């Protein structure tokens, strides 16, 4: 069989080959265009039981024909399609067959070839630059990716693998698809020139702690400046931007870990009274102790007494067993993988994983509510959820607030005509 599939007859042979499992990689028009609005140039299919992979030509300068009509027929023939990044691949093929074999904490950097580097240097800004990179070089690159990751196919499928593939990848793909409406003049003032009315975020899920970062085209959507006016760039396509913030999120999550309940919903005000300091200072003290270790003078406070014991017990388990397992996600932090660990750093990792896992559950419930609705979830940043809200869907927002109540989390809300709610 040919390695380059560029006519209907060749494609039919591959479709009817009987292969049920394969590795898949997409070559888009340009790697720097967001996959939500990108187009496919080539598809690399490597059947697991085959000796080689195949390049299916969709559109390319070297192809005789454009095979863009029967790709779905090809994809549907596979029971499992292993991939490098399921969240990304879902933009091109929203199929249940996709399975990510590159889960955290592994960070895989997609390789290049000399030909790619030279052409990208000269023509990287062209929206269809990959159509002029020789197909054989794309093939070489994809074969390398498969060789790098193929061993992961036979690894034991853990509970975390299932959580990541069946839930995590899907919810963050949903958010990326939504995009955010922008005011072009303001956006260009703070970021980069664009004629598009909408920009797209891109989550990196493959981090050491599993807490996702969110950056695209050098815009850090997870840490937009609150003081320089850049948030005015983001506006609703419906009526309002509506933000839901979880109050005292990390202290609340810590309570679940140590089995402690504060006597009031306002955790920071309660601790303020115990500290005998201002509200702002109280928050500062609380977070310093959660992330850096309990101060001697506050070990008598029941919450911190329990935190201190939990951190020590967690560290003991980590040293004795060589690993700890996170609640909800079942992600495993392994001693032989992590460097320069200490008790407090381990606790911080666990807390970040719990934060992300809890939010994934929340996001899943929210997305179900938003199905077929005009209101969209457009941005997620750790303890904050931003919606592009159609005011006629008031019940929708009430239902979303109820999700947080179900998880026993207190929230604060804001709304406005842009993301700068001051």
Q: Which domains does the chain have, with CATH numbers?
A: 4-155 (no CATH), 157-422 (3.30.70.370)
What would the mean pLDDT of 171-175 be, rounded to a whole number? 98
What would the mean pLDDT of 344-369 be, rounded to a whole number? 97
Task: Examine the pLDDT at 346 and tell me if it is beyond 70.
Answer: yes
Q: What is the dihedral of CA 116, 122, 125, 128, to 10 degrees?
A: -50
- The CA–CA distances, whole Å, from 70 to 40, 123, 380 equal 13, 30, 36
Task: Examine the pLDDT at 106 and tell me if it is beyond 80.
Answer: no
Structure tokens that stand for 4 in this block: 């380059």
Confidence band (pLDDT; 50, 70, 90) for 2?
confident
- How does the average pLDDT of the chain come out, rounded? 95
- Could you give the percent of the chain with pLDDT greater than 70? 99
Structure tokens that stand for 1 in this block: 């069989």
Confidence band (pLDDT; 50, 70, 90) for 394?
very high
Task: Examine the pLDDT at 10 and tell me if it is beyond 90.
Answer: no
* Spatial CA neighbour of 107 closest among 216, 204, 188, 38: 204
Strand order in the sheet with 240-246: 376-380, 384-389, 240-246, 411-416
Give the Cα separation of 167 and 190 in Å (integer): 34
**pLDDT value, residue 1:** 56
Confidence band (pLDDT; 50, 70, 90) for 264?
confident
Dihedral sign of CA atoms 261, 278, 242, 37 in order: negative
The residues, any chain, with a CB within 8 Å of residue 127's CB and separated by 6 or more, are: 29, 30, 33
What would the mean pLDDT of 374-388 be, rounded to a whole number? 97
CB 201 within 8 A of CB 175: yes
Count Cβ atoms below 10 Å from residue 151 Cβ, excluding itself.
Answer: 9
- pTM metric for this prediction: 0.95
**pLDDT value, residue 194:** 94
**pLDDT value, residue 63:** 85
């Amino acid at each position: 069989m040919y390695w380059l599939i560029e006519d209907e007859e060749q494609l039919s042979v591959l479709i009817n080959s009987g292969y049920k499992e394969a590795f898949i990689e997409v070559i888009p028009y340009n790697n720097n265009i967001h996959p939500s609005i990108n187009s496919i140039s080539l598809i690399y299919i490597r059947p697991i039981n085959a000796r080689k992979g195949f390049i299916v030509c969709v559109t390319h300068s070297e192809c005789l024909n454009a095979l863009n009509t029967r790709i779905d027929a090809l994809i549907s023939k596979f029971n499992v399609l292993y991939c490098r990044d399921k969240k990304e691949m879902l933009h091109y093929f929203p199929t249940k067959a996709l399975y990510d074999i590159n889960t955290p904490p592994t960070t895989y950097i997609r390789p290049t070839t000399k030909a790619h580097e030279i052409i990208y240097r000269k023509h990287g800004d062209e929206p269809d630059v990959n159509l002029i990179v020789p197909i054989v070089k794309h093939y070489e690159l994809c074969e390398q990716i498969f060789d790098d990751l193929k061993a992961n196919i036979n690894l034991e499928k853990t509970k975390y693998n299932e959580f990541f593939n069946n839930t995590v990848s899907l919810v963050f793909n949903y958010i990326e698809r939504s995009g955010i409406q922008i005011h072009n003049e303001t956006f260009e003032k703070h970021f980069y020139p664009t004629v598009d009315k909408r920009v797209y975020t891109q989550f990196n899920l493959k981090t050491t702690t599993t807490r996702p970062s969110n950056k695209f085209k050098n815009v850090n959507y997870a840490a937009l400046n609150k003081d320089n006016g850049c948030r005015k760039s983001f506006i609703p396509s419906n009526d309002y931007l509506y933000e839901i913030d979880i109050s005292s999120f990390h202290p609340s999550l810590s309570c679940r870990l140590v089995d402690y309940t504060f006597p009031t919903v306002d955790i920071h005000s309660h601790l303020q009274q115990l500290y005998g300091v201002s509200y702002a200072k109280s928050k500062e003290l609380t977070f310093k102790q959660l992330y850096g270790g309990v101060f001697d003078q506050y070990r008598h406070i029941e919450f911190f007494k329990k935190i201190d014991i939990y951190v020590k017990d967690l560290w003991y388990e980590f040293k004795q067993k060589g690993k700890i397992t996170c609640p909800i996600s079942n992600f495993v932090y392994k001693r032989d993988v992590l460097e320069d660990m200490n008790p407090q750093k381990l606790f911080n990792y666990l807390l970040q994983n719990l934060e992300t896992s809890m939010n994934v559950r929340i996001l899943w419930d929210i997305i179900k509510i938003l199905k077929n609705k005009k209101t969209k979830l457009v941005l997620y940043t750790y303890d904050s959820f931003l919606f592009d809200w159609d005011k006629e869907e008031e019940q929708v927002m009430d239902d979303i607030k109820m999700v947080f109540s179900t998880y026993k989390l207190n929230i604060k809300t804001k709304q406005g005509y842009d993301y700068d709610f001051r």
